[in-house]
Amino acid sequence: MKNLFIKIFIALFAIVCLFSCSSDEYNPLGNPPEEGGGNTNPDTEYDVNLAFEAQTTASSYTDGESGNPYNLVDGKLSELNHSFGFLQSTTKEDQWIKIKLNKKQEVNEVKIYPKLGGEGIEGYPLGFIIQVSLDGDSWTDVYEAKDLKMPNTTRGEVYHFNNVEAEYVRLYVNDLLHIENMWTPVGGIYDAQLAEIEVYLRKESSGGGDDDPVSNYNLALDGTATTNNVIEEGKGPERAIDGIVDQRANFFGTLSQPDPYTADLTVELAKAQEINEVIMYPKVGGSEEEPTTEGFPIDFKIEVSMDKTTWTTVVDKIDFPAPIPIQGQGISFKFDKVEAKYVRLNASRLEHIVNMWVPDGVYILQFAEFEIYLDKQ
């Protein structure tokens, strides 16, 4: 009877392990199960993120929801609790992130999104090697990055390399950022934090395709933003085109002043093409219970130009009402199709803000995002 009981116990234990035990100590809950052989679909996919919701592991990770390596492939680029961080260490050690792609095929681009924290971008690595593999064990270097600077936007950093067949992609981080402040131990810690990793095969341009206008895509993401105004610290024009519309701390803002003034933002597109819509996202402040919009312009024009000298007005608003304070909800301004290389917001009348912090009132321009489209669906 005793031997029978032992056999039953061993059998039950084996069944439990079959469904719940993992041979990979760095594969936390949330990852899809590892499947051998890869996707057998022979069709090559272009411009498709092959890492989306893929099986992802890491050499180490922080505790809690924000440390899960699966956050790197969940498609959530700006939510604070959907980022990833290595386990912080007082010694400098190499770390890695491994992604088993959704299918085995050629790839030629990795796009890495920095993590946005309360004070801005946090923990982007200073150096790494992008590696590929067909079996998850033998690796080939395809790109090496050294002496990187902290990105100034969260739009994603793009790294191109020659076409190479892969089923696995690994980010091998060999130069972690050193952080020392009031929250770290004496001597500081080494860390890297990221929001998302995407892997693509980009189709090479041919037959003049690069000259074709791009529709249903936010063209501002590939552009460059500037302003003639003094900005609020940490709220530069790059924040207006970083693709983040739903984070309260992430917005473009000019320096508050006691007297009225005019303000502007100019976006230079990556190439000249037709456009017919601009979407502006207000900056939302106040409390969660009583949100308010802050700094949205009252009188303003949206203008376009091919040479940054001659401007054509496509939108002209006077006494524009304060938008409804809903985080991530934009206001669309549509107009007839027009060729443009530059798009400018020219605000001639700004909101006058009076509250307990500025009882005498100040003038300011603030908004979360400035998007530019042709035929947005």
* Selected residue with higher pLDDT from 113 and 342: 342
Lowest-confidence pick of 36-45, 146-155, 320-329? 36-45
Average pLDDT over residues 268-283: 96
Average pLDDT over residues 58-69: 78
Q: Does 317 score more than 80 pLDDT?
A: yes
User: How much of the chain, in percent, has pLDDT values that exceed 90?
Assistant: 55
186 and 108 co-located in one domain: yes
Q: Is the pTM of this model over 0.85?
A: no
Q: Is residue 4 included in any domain, yes or no?
A: no
331 and 217 co-located in one domain: yes
Average pLDDT over residues 29-46: 58
Q: Does 320 score more than 50 pLDDT?
A: yes
92 and 154 co-located in one domain: yes
Lowest-confidence pick of 99-103, 124-128, 203-207? 203-207
Convert the pLDDT of each residue in 160-197 to its tens digit: 999 999 999 999 999 998 877 776 777 778 888 899 99
Q: Is residue 97 included in any domain, yes or no?
A: yes
CB 268 within 8 A of CB 227: no
Q: Does 26 score more than 60 pLDDT?
A: no
* CATH number for position 216: 2.60.120.260
* Selected residue with higher pLDDT from 310 and 221: 310
* Selected residue with higher pLDDT from 41 and 346: 346
Average pLDDT over residues 264-276: 96
Q: Tell me which residue range forms the domain holding 346.
A: 212-373
287 and 363 co-located in one domain: yes
Confidence of residue 247 (pLDDT cuts 50, 70, 90): confident
Of the three residues 200, 229, 248, the one that is the final residue of a domain is 200
- 27-31, 202-206, 257-261, 326-330: range with highest mean pLDDT: 257-261
Q: Is residue 6 included in any domain, yes or no?
A: no
Average pLDDT over residues 302-328: 96
Q: Is residue 16 included in any domain, yes or no?
A: no
The pair of three-digit structure tokens given for residue 228, joined into one six-digit string: 């003639």
131 and 216 co-located in one domain: no
284 and 318 co-located in one domain: yes
Average pLDDT over residues 86-98: 89
CB 195 within 8 A of CB 153: no
Q: Does 261 score more than 90 pLDDT?
A: yes
270 and 182 co-located in one domain: no
219 and 177 co-located in one domain: no
Q: Is residue 190 included in any domain, yes or no?
A: yes
Q: Is residue 151 included in any domain, yes or no?
A: yes
Answer positive or negative: Cα dihedral of 79, 81, 84, 86. positive
Q: Is residue 5 included in any domain, yes or no?
A: no
Of the three residues 200, 221, 251, the one that is the final residue of a domain is 200
Convert the pLDDT of each residue in 128-155 to its tens digit: 999 999 999 999 999 999 999 888 777 7
- Name the nearest CA neighbour of 170 among 63, 97, 243: 97
Q: Is residue 206 included in any domain, yes or no?
A: no
The whole-chain average pLDDT of the chain stands at 84
30 and 171 co-located in one domain: yes
Q: Does 13 score more than 60 pLDDT?
A: no
User: How much of the chain, in percent, has pLDDT values that exceed 70?
Assistant: 82
Half-sphere exposure of 230 (CA within 13 A, CB side): 5
249 and 325 co-located in one domain: yes
Confidence of residue 257 (pLDDT cuts 50, 70, 90): very high
Of the three residues 179, 200, 221, the one that is the final residue of a domain is 200
226 and 195 co-located in one domain: no
Lowest-confidence pick of 148-162, 267-281, 346-360? 148-162
CB 343 within 8 A of CB 278: yes
* Selected residue with higher pLDDT from 184 and 280: 280
> What is the SS3 assignment for the chain?
CHHHHHHHHHHHHHHHHHHHCCCCCCCCCCCCCCCCCCCCCCCCCCCCCCCCCCEEEECCCCCCHHHCHHHHHCCCCCCHHHCEECCCECCCCCEEEEEEEEEEEEEEEEEEEEEEECCEEECCCCEEEEEEECCCCCCEEEEEECCCCCCCCCCCEEEEEEEEEEEEEEEEEEECEEECCCCCCCCCEEECEEEEEEEECCCCCCCCHHHCCCCCCCHHHHCEEECCCCECCCCCHHHHHCCCCCCCCCCEEECCECCCCCEEEEEEEEEEEEEEEEEEEECEEECCCCEEECCCCCEEEEEEECCCCCCEEEEEECCCCCCCCCCCCCEEEEEEEEEEEEEEEEEEECEEECCCCCCCCEEECEEEEEEEECCCC
Q: Does 36 score more than 90 pLDDT?
A: no
* Number of domains present in the structure of the chain: 2
232 and 343 co-located in one domain: yes
Q: Does 231 score more than 90 pLDDT?
A: yes
